[in-house]
Structure 1
Amino acid sequence: MVIANGSYGIKINMDLASAYKNKNVFITGHTGFKGSWLSLWLYKMGANVFGYSLRPDNIPNNYTASCVGDVLAGETIADIRNKKSLKEAIKKADPDYVFHLAAQPLVRESYNCPVETFEINVIGSLNVLDSLQQYENQCSVVIVTSDKCYDNKEQLWGYRESDPLGGHDPYSASKAAAEIAVSSYRKSFFPSEFLDEHGVKIATARAGNVIGGGDWAKDRIIPDAVRALSNGKNVIVRNPNSIRPWQHVLEPLSGYLTLAAKMYESKDPDLFSPWNFGPCCSDECTVSDLMDLFCGEWGCVAWEHLSSSNTPHEASVLRLCIDKAVYKLNWSPRWNLFEAIKRTASWYKEYYNNNTKSMQNTCFADIDAYMEV
């Protein structure tokens, strides 16, 4: 693995701030890891941000640590499966943009609650779209699914948006099912040929494994490492040779924001489709490489492999092809893996050095640095 310092230096070819300034943005899952960062970024660009989510699952969490509630124009604490509550919240927000991130997001947890995983990830997504059927204004909608939605044959090359969907575990299968369900709703109720009548533009987004400050979810490699290292313990690694498309959380968020903004200004039906947002192939690495880099940034090398024959199935290799986003959206990653790990470790170390302080300004500083590349 070869990682160079710095970033790719490819700018998003549009002014995101002007696209979102004074616009109403509705985010489901705003209390989660991605949703909290997206809320802060949109607020910083001058948007009116409305959140809909359950309370955070974990303590600590970025929503609380970064005082995300303070930047919201409105907030509804409710389940995405509560269609009545969701529809009322969307109507009240009167959104120009909708980002649907609410989900059961963990592969291993999906083995413990498979039915709930399908309900949240599939029915929850359809509840969002169903709530927009009588919407009377223009609206760009990005439904976030997952890179796990592909029928993963553990092939050497990256999956393209046109590749078959599937899923061994309930989480992956639920995300594939959500993609199929959203495609059906888009064709049935929001067809591009009648766009002038309904005004709702829908795309799906499939991102790689995200890292960054503020994630404390269980059974994720960086949060697991942070919990161990902050307590002076060794990091336990299950699958050191597995390969994943890791990227800083701001990378896919910039993709979602770019896609939604371009949809808002265009009637091109090619935009209303699935999109991959992942790292460049030169940044792929194994879990063991990731841990070497992260522990090095933390100030120690302290991880150990602990395998078990009773663990549920997890794919060994997953790669994404991002050519479509690069060439059709002019989007590309800005931070390489080295920079992503450096920023992630720095965020957590600052939190643990003074955890009574709000991390909001630290998030804003990372967003500023990302946008300046």
Structure 2
Amino acid sequence: MKRVALITGINGQDGYYLSRFLKGKDYEVHGITSCSKPGIGEPPENCYYCDFADGSNLNEIMDKVKPDEVYHLAAQSHVRLSFDLPVYTAEVTGVGTLRLLDAIRYFEQQNDKQVHFYQASSSEMFGKVVETPQSETTPFHPRSPYACAKVFSYWQTINYRESYGMFACNGILFNHESPRRGEAFVTRKITQAVARIKLGLQDKLYLGNIDAKRDWGFAGDYVEAMWLILQQEKPDDFVIGTGETHSVREFLEAAFGAVELDWKKYVEIDPQFYRPAEVELLCADPTKAREKLNWEPKVSFEELARMMVEADLKRTRQEKILNESTD
């Protein structure tokens, strides 16, 4: 009998890779998406609509799907946007998790069945870091409404685990990117601009703080870690990252270098893209994941940048051909 997985935010980047991964493991995959969020791909089969600012139909969805595993990826996940929409971000990214946890708790009580729950926690929770690298024991110092909401979700997940015996886990994922990353995120903003500049469709790229340093990996690698977390004998929390740190400046060098261009000729700094409170450095200590999950990232920083540039070049060439054919 197939195991059943429910993925919230299934039409986002991680939802795409996770659904493919689970189907490869012969899962029956169901998804939740929001009508208000267009997403990155077409909604898959077995997809339900839910606004996590409301969550009134979560009990109904749980009863229909009867999942063995729930992966909670849905969120208002853009850090800069969270400063403009702090209350909405808190409702969806923070309280939305609580709504889902309580729906799972009710479902377990009614069906005498334990559900394995994965909460997508974020390295942004570390914020103004007190130590480097950051591990499962590093204190949080969130520096955005998004990060504050994720800290709330993190502790609610632990609270439900300790209070009700739920198999509820946090994966504290550091930055993970792919060709399916949303265009508002800096890595995809860069690779899309590289493709457009290379093909003569754009002249300049405007960015904020290019000295910020992050631990960047490939989303396709990280979804395996999500799955492994829920396959353990006991629920636990794990930091997932590469253990390497690279600046936005280094990503620019790798991305523009993939098409043999000098980024300094095309990039300009625009103060409007600075955050009110910056997070300067994030770097994972993935020792626990390596030892307990036997997980290692496979795609390197340079390979990731090249992969994203090549995908955007292909998309942009198609866009250019289409525009030329309609002129």
TM-score bracket for this pair, using the shorter chain length: 0.7 to 0.9
Give the equivalent residue in structure 2 for 1:110.
Answer: 82
Give the equivalent residue in structure 1 for 2:325.
Answer: none
8 Å CA contact retained: 1:122, 1:181:
no
Give the equivalent residue in structure 2 for 1:221.
Answer: 186
Question: Which consecutive residues of structure 2, in runs of 5 or more, have no partner in the other structure?
Answer: 321-327
1:306 matched to 2:269? The reply is: yes
Cα offset, 1:201, TM superposition: 1.1
For 1:254 and 1:111, the matched residues in 2 are separated by: 31
Change in Cα spacing, 1:87 to 1:217, as seen in structure 2 (3 Å) is: farther
Give the equivalent residue in structure 2 for 1:82.
Answer: 54
Give aligned-pair identity as a percent.
20
Cα offset, 1:56, TM superposition: 6.9
1:139 to 108, 115, 140: 115
Give the structure, 1 or 2, with the largest relative contact order (CA under 8 Å, sep 6 or more): 1
For 1:301 and 1:49, the matched residues in 2 are separated by: 44
SS of residue paired to 1:321: coil
Q: After superposition, what is the alpha-carbon deviation per residue over 1:322-360, rounded to whole angstroms, capped at 9, x for unaligned?
A: 11101111111111112222222222223333469xxxx
1:244 matched to 2:234? The reply is: no
Change in Cα spacing, 1:310 to 1:36, as seen in structure 2 (3 Å) is: closer
Give the equivalent residue in structure 2 for 1:208.
Answer: 174
For 1:42 and 1:355, the matched residues in 2 are separated by: 32
Cα offset, 1:308, TM superposition: 1.8
Change in Cα spacing, 1:98 to 1:310, as seen in structure 2 (3 Å) is: closer
For 1:299 and 1:232, the matched residues in 2 are separated by: 16
For 1:346 and 1:53, the matched residues in 2 are separated by: 28
Give the equivalent residue in structure 2 for 1:327.
Answer: 291
8 Å CA contact retained: 2:191, 2:255:
no
Q: After superposition, what is the alpha-carbon deviation per residue over 1:131-166, rounded to whole angstroms, capped at 9, x for unaligned?
A: 1113232321111010111252364x2111112123
For 2:312 and 2:17, the matched residues in 1 are separated by: 15
For 1:275 and 1:152, the matched residues in 2 are separated by: 20
For 1:32 and 1:141, the matched residues in 2 are separated by: 18
1:31 matched to 2:11? The reply is: yes
For 1:310 and 1:337, the matched residues in 2 are separated by: 24
8 Å CA contact retained: 2:192, 2:309:
no
**Paired letter, 1:297:** A
1:290 to 221, 236, 251: 251
Give the equivalent residue in structure 1 for 2:307.
Answer: 343
Give the equivalent residue in structure 1 for 2:67.
Answer: 95
SS of residue paired to 1:132: helix
Give the equivalent residue in structure 2 for 1:255.
Answer: 225
8 Å CA contact retained: 1:29, 1:35:
yes
For 1:163 and 1:212, the matched residues in 2 are separated by: 27
1:152 to 121, 125, 128: 128
Q: After superposition, what is the alpha-carbon deviation per residue over 1:277-303, rounded to whole angstroms, capped at 9, x for unaligned?
A: 11132xx21111111101222453344
8 Å CA contact retained: 2:238, 2:289:
yes
8 Å CA contact retained: 1:166, 1:176:
no
Give the equivalent residue in structure 2 for 1:5.
Answer: none
8 Å CA contact retained: 2:6, 2:71:
yes
For 1:104 and 1:83, the matched residues in 2 are separated by: 15
Cα offset, 1:167, TM superposition: 0.9
Aligned residues: 308
Cα offset, 1:95, TM superposition: 0.7
2:137 to 151, 162, 171: 162
Give the equivalent residue in structure 1 for 2:236.
Answer: 273
Moved over 6 A (4+): none
CA-atom RMSD, angstroms?
2.2
TM-score, reference length from structure 2: 0.87
For 1:93 and 1:87, the matched residues in 2 are separated by: 10
Question: Which consecutive residues of structure 1, in runs of 5 or more, have no partner in the other structure?
Answer: 1-20, 192-199, 357-373
TM-score, reference length from structure 1: 0.77
For 1:56 and 1:108, the matched residues in 2 are separated by: 19
For 1:249 and 1:330, the matched residues in 2 are separated by: 17
Change in Cα spacing, 1:341 to 1:310, as seen in structure 2 (3 Å) is: closer
8 Å CA contact retained: 2:120, 2:172:
yes
Cα offset, 1:172, TM superposition: 1.2
Cα offset, 1:168, TM superposition: 2.0
**Paired letter, 2:212:** S
Cα offset, 1:111, TM superposition: 0.6
Cα offset, 1:22, TM superposition: 2.4
Give the equivalent residue in structure 2 for 1:122.
Answer: 94
Change in Cα spacing, 1:222 to 1:275, as seen in structure 2 (3 Å) is: same
1:316 to 280, 283, 292: 280
For 2:122 and 2:133, the matched residues in 1 are separated by: 14
